[in-house]
Amino acid sequence: MKKSKLYLFILIIIILILFTYKIYAPYTIQDFNAVNVRNMDLIKNNIDDEEYSFAVVGNIENSIAIFDNRILEKIKANNMDFILSTGNNLRDGDESKYRVFELERAEEYEKKFVVMNKTPLKVESEYLKDEDEPGYIESESLRKFYQETFSSYNVDSVFSSNIGIFYQQEVGGVNYYVSGGAGGELIFDNQKSFYHYLLVNVSDSGVEVSVEQLENNPSVFSKFLVNIWVSLQSFFYANYINILLVLFIGLTIFYILHREINKEVDYYRDFAYANHEIKDQKLKIAMFTNNYFPVIGGVPISIQRLAKALRKRGHQVKIFAPEYKEETEDESNIIRCNSLYHYEEAGLAFPVTNIYSPQIKRDFQKEDFDLVHAHHPFWLGNKGRKLAEKFNLPLAFTYHTRLEKYSHYVPNILFMRKFFKNRLSHFLIKNFANNTDAVFAPTESTKEYLRNVGVSRFIKVMPTGIDFDYYDRPQEEIDALRDELIGEADHLLISVSRLSQEKNLYFLLEGIKKLKAKSDLNFKLIIIGSGSEKENIEDFINDNQLEKDIELIGAVDFREMAKYYLAADLFVFASTTETQGMVLLEAMAGYNPVVAVKSSGIDDVIENGYNGFKTEEDTEKWSSAVAKILTDSQNFEETAQNARKMAESSSIEQMAESAEELYYKILQLKKYQ
């Protein structure tokens, strides 16, 4: 498996190097204009004005076999002073470019030569390839302009190319040469099409131009073969980087397909461990989380409860968590990971941990863990996955959070927010879960979601348990708190939520506003929690004259929360982002029926008419459900008792027992597979 990954890594690195070179290479190419000017200065300084010789070559087209190996060698043997190329790096003679000619400045010279790519002659069709573009200047008026101009300035010769032939014609005292056989394709069945170059000798007696033809020029059939060879050679020479890129990308795709086709997958559960039961083994468990206390939230509370209950059963649990600006009262069994910086956006505090710190690995190795439990599918959670893989330890994962509901925290650049919401969030969950040994889902509906996104691992439904130790409170303490909170109202409603956009709090406020408008109920709602929307919620309360009906309590220590639930009558909730609605069960443990909006995390917890009501996201239906519970005193008491019974089925002891069972299973599978 490691060799396979290494090979794939090498292929990807090669592709990246080729891409980098392809981007970098154009910036290293010399400017043709600058090179030509420099070379013309060298020619001017190094030749005799009276006598010199030079070679004229047409389009080379990257030919190594013809130009480099044959023509260039002959030119060197003839000791030419310089070479002129009429290839396609020259001006093509288009009408928009003829003003570049400054022949007036050349009048002082005795000999004058013009080099251009397309000839200003109309070449007969018998000399041309069957192409849409003829290869010479098509405009008759422009051809005539060039011919008259060259004649008026006494130009000796005009050299051009762009056609794979040798052609010569005199017009108005000017000799025009087409030399197109320096390496490109030849024209079939054409005697004028052969490999050659022009040799120009300049002396006192005048200008002499001769055609230097290569020996053994090909026949018609040979031209066909040579053309194929030249085309292939030119193509590979000019595109070798692209060819290498395509080759290595193709190899990478082939390798991935080959690996996937030949990878054996067993979709049946392995029963091999059944005869090797691990009994009474006390485990050392490493948990990895992106957020933990002192930040108050569902995930930290869930982890704290599971760790507490597992320790009661004799297991050791260490929690790898971010380093915060402040510490908790008890830092024992918490391994803090250094933070690079603290990200804060819209009330969301998120320390960015340095997951590349070698200290994390050293702390991990020192403890000699039996298994790893990740609570997030990225960052520190992924660090835990890599450590489990490195040390061949079983890995469990708890799906806590509906990531797509937090897309508003993603910068809205190039549709990233929408991409994260619709695609990336689900891909992260699926990809991470499928690289673990087993997954915990808090409810049946979240298990269904995991299956729908493509998670194929074993999934165990395990709700976050309730710590009933905190609910053992003196009645006089509860009564005193109730009297303090309720004021002159008859009913005390409670809601617990982070005050942030994803928690759907404005629906809750609108529902309370409607309840007040359509009923005579004397109630008060307390909202426990803090967050970025606090000021906006306060503005809503003041603008709608709800100051006597709604009170924001702020954050409350999680160990004190049970007292508030026990003091209240009814728990109201509007969030649709929960995977399990842990606060609902906490409220039920305090004998609170629940009225909430239907969602994946709520549906499994509330049974309509039994322990509360779940409604559509409609303030009319929601407020009616609240009124129905509060106005039927006899049914209310029964519903409150049912809520408590529901909560009692989800204790932290049962949660730990369920987790322990799965831990043993994946430990056995890892050991005996």
Per-residue pLDDT at 273: 47
Beta-carbon contacts of residue 159 (< 8 Å; ≥ 6 apart): 56, 84, 86, 113, 114, 115, 116, 177, 179, 198
Q: Which residue has the tokens 């005799």?
A: 48
Per-residue pLDDT at 151: 93
- Give the side-chain half-sphere CA count within 13 A for 324: 18
Question: In this model, does residue 101 exceed pLDDT 80?
Answer: no
1, 2, 244 from 257: Cα distances, Å: 15, 17, 20
**Model pLDDT for residues 369-383, shown as the tens digit of each residue:** 999 999 999 999 999
The stretch 441-447 carries a mean pLDDT of 91
The percentage of residues in the chain with a pLDDT greater than 70, rounded to a whole number, is 86
Using N-to-C axis directions, what is the helix angle for 2-24 and 220-262, rounded to 10°?
140
Question: In this model, does residue 518 exceed pLDDT 50?
Answer: yes
**Model pLDDT for residues 288-300, shown as the tens digit of each residue:** 999 999 888 889 9
Per-residue pLDDT at 18: 79
In the chain, what are the domains? 32-217 (3.60.21.10), 278-461 (3.40.50.2000), 472-650 (3.40.50.2000)
DSSP labels for 485-510? HHTT-SEEEEEE--SSGGG-HHHHHH
Whether the Cβ atoms of residue 187 and residue 193 lie closer than 8 Å to each other: yes
Which residues on neighbouring strands pair with residue 660, listed in sequence order?
none
The percentage of residues in the chain with a pLDDT greater than 90, rounded to a whole number, is 52
Q: What is the mean pLDDT of the chain?
A: 86
- Give the side-chain half-sphere CA count within 13 A for 226: 23
CA angle centred on 450, ends 449 and 451, rounded to 5°: 90
Question: In this model, does residue 344 exceed pLDDT 90?
Answer: no
Residue 265: pLDDT band with limits 50, 70, 90: low
Whether the Cβ atoms of residue 433 and residue 376 lie closer than 8 Å to each other: no
Q: Which two tokens stand for residue 323?
A: 């380093």
Of 310 and 328, the structure prediction assigns the larger pLDDT to 310
Q: Which two tokens stand for residue 612?
A: 């509360």
Question: In this model, does residue 544 exceed pLDDT 70?
Answer: yes
Q: Which residue has the tokens 């394709």?
A: 185
The stretch 634-647 carries a mean pLDDT of 95
Residue 279: pLDDT band with limits 50, 70, 90: low
**Which residue, 294, 283, 298, 293, is CA-closest to 396?**
283
H or E element that contains 648:
helix 633-648
**Model pLDDT for residues 394-412, shown as the tens digit of each residue:** 999 999 988 887 777 777 7
d(CA 117, CA 178): 9
Residue 266: pLDDT band with limits 50, 70, 90: low
Residue 275: pLDDT band with limits 50, 70, 90: very low
230, 281, 397, 622 from 653: Cα distances, Å: 80, 18, 19, 34
Question: In this model, does residue 280 exceed pLDDT 90?
Answer: no
Question: In this model, does residue 54 exceed pLDDT 60?
Answer: yes
